[in-house]
Structure 1
Amino acid sequence: MNLTGTTALVTGATRGIGRELTRQLVAGGARVVAVGRDRDHLTSLAAEHGDLVHAWPVDLADPAAVDTFVRDVAERHPDISVVINNAGVQTLTDFFADDPTALRPVLRREIAVNLDAVVALATGLLPHLRRHPSAAIVTITSGLALAPKRSAPVYCATKAAVRTFSRALRYQCQDSAPHVRVIDAVMPLVDTDMTLGRGSGKISAADAAAAVIAGIRRDSDEIHIGKVRLLRTLMRLSPRLAYRVLRNS
């Protein structure tokens, strides 16, 4: 897929991988509709790139706001042909130590951002995307979708759900709209605000974004980035060992 001259929608565009995706897409000749919750960060991002980035504040945890966005964005930006569902929330959770009543709204918000918004954007914009001669829906998942860690069960579950959703949606597109690619970009541990202070052997957000963009250009169905390639092999050879390795990561 040639990204030069295209318009891409990127969620979670103001930080980490999303910000790097925006920078690298613009550097490669694309325009970006940048979606985020923080208006100040969006304004800063747009100012950095001029009219090549259009900032659109949306709280992806609010289903009504997402529905309004889906309804309006294709009308205001009919040239969007790539949707990158990058936004994500991870809540470290101990169901034995934490107050379950206090956790419930937090975890529902996590599910809304990580799963519900992804499904709403992918399916809501599909009728628009299929009108383009070449289009892509990209979901950013995680190696934790293959083997979960104990400290973030809901995050791992939503990433596994998005991975399965992407595969099933890919089947439908292959049958009914083969020019719309559905791509799952599976991340290792990336150096972002989400992973601050934990883990080792992280890759940079810039390298993660570059791998995603390269995979889109190759028309890959799945993009296994960094150590995820090793994890994928380990899951085939010894799932029990893979689960043990990731359990306390």
Structure 2
Amino acid sequence: MDLKDKAVLLTGGSAGIGRELAHLLKEKGARVTLTGRNKDRLAEMQDEGFEVIEADLSNAKGVDALIADIGEREFDVLINNAGQLVDHDFRKELPDPNAADDCIYANLSAPIRLTTALVPMLGRQPEASIVNVTSGLAIAPAARQPVYCATKSGLRAYSLTLREQLKDTNIHVIEALPPVVDTQMNADNPMSKMPAAECAAQILDAIETNRAEANIGMTKLLKLAESISPALARSITLRF
């Protein structure tokens, strides 16, 4: 896809991977509307020329408000990038189920709800893309993050089936599977982390080249291990 003059809706675009991706899209000539929850970060992005919408995607009310704010605006690309990480480790303490609910909604329900709302509009464009940012942990989970892994696995399954359903339409479905990335969400993760800018660049390349799946960084090796033996892939990630 040639991104020049394309209208892009990018969730979670005020920090981390999303912020870097917003800048790269703008450099390509795209018109980017981004969402986020932090007023200060949104104001910074607005000062840089981005259209911003404050939105909390961890609940139905917030997603419905975003859909209402979109109104009659037309987009060529939807990037479901916003996500949450929740501490859910029984080895430490009894997890907070409410925190899990927020994570499940933000990571899985919100992308499904936004996709459902925007597919009719995307279908009216000459060319359109839906980009779902999942994770390498959608392939094989890590023990310390069971809820996060479950949501990303769910979004991966949704992406695969959505692509099949829309294969005869003008809407191209792309799944991006990052490794551990150096973002605020992963600040406490001791693993080696990919720079957010590098991850964003690989997602951008997948959009421009219309790839169905972008296995980014170490996810390439994990995908290879999974193709040889799913048990091998799980043995690698479950230790973390």
The two structures have a TM-score, normalised by structure 1, of 0.93
**What is the CA–CA distance in structure 2 between the aligned matches of 1:84 and 1:172, rounded to whole Å?**
18
What's the C-alpha RMSD, in Å, of the aligned pairs?
A: 1.2
Query: Which whole-Å deviations, capped at 9, do the CAs of 1:51-102 have from their partners, x for residues lacking one?
Result: xx10100110120221232244151x22x110101111111221254234xx
Query: Is the Cα contact below 8 Å between 1:74 and 1:128 reproduced in 2?
Result: no
Bigger shift: residues 87-96 or 141-150: 87-96
2:80 maps to 85
**What is the CA–CA distance in structure 1 between the aligned matches of 2:157 and 2:120, rounded to whole Å?**
21
After TM superposition, the runs of 4+ consecutive aligned structure 1 residues lying more than 3 A away are none
**What is the CA–CA distance in structure 2 between the aligned matches of 1:88 and 1:72, rounded to whole Å?**
20
| Paired residue secondary structure (2:77) | strand
Confirm or deny that 1:200 pairs with 2:191: yes
1:2 maps to 2
Confirm or deny that 1:26 pairs with 2:26: yes
**What is the CA–CA distance in structure 2 between the aligned matches of 1:163 and 1:239, rounded to whole Å?**
16
Query: Is the Cα contact below 8 Å between 2:176 and 2:214 reproduced in 1?
Result: yes
Bigger shift: residues 162-171 or 238-247: 238-247
**What is the CA–CA distance in structure 2 between the aligned matches of 1:221 and 1:97, rounded to whole Å?**
38
2:201 maps to 210
Query: Is the Cα contact below 8 Å between 1:74 and 1:125 reproduced in 2?
Result: no
Task: Give ranges in structure 1 of 5+ residues lacking alignment.
Answer: none
Confirm or deny that 1:160 pairs with 2:153: yes
**What is the CA–CA distance in structure 2 between the aligned matches of 1:151 and 1:186, rounded to whole Å?**
19
1:106 maps to 99
Pick from 210, 213, 220 the counterpart of residue 219 of structure 1: 210
Which has a greater percent of helix? 1
The two structures have a TM-score, normalised by structure 2, of 0.96
Query: Which whole-Å deviations, capped at 9, do the CAs of 1:134-167 have from their partners, x for residues lacking one?
Result: 0000000111011101111000000000000011
**What is the CA–CA distance in structure 1 between the aligned matches of 2:191 and 2:98, rounded to whole Å?**
30
1:242 maps to 233
Pick from 53, 56, 61 the counterpart of residue 59 of structure 1: 56
Identity %, equivalent residues: 39
Shift of residue 245 of structure 1? 1.1
Query: Is the Cα contact below 8 Å between 2:88 and 2:100 reproduced in 1?
Result: no
Query: Which whole-Å deviations, capped at 9, do the CAs of 1:90-118 have from their partners, x for residues lacking one?
Result: 11221254234xx1110000001000101
Query: Is the Cα contact below 8 Å between 2:55 and 2:65 reproduced in 1?
Result: no
**What is the CA–CA distance in structure 2 between the aligned matches of 1:153 and 1:194, rounded to whole Å?**
15
Confirm or deny that 1:73 pairs with 2:70: yes
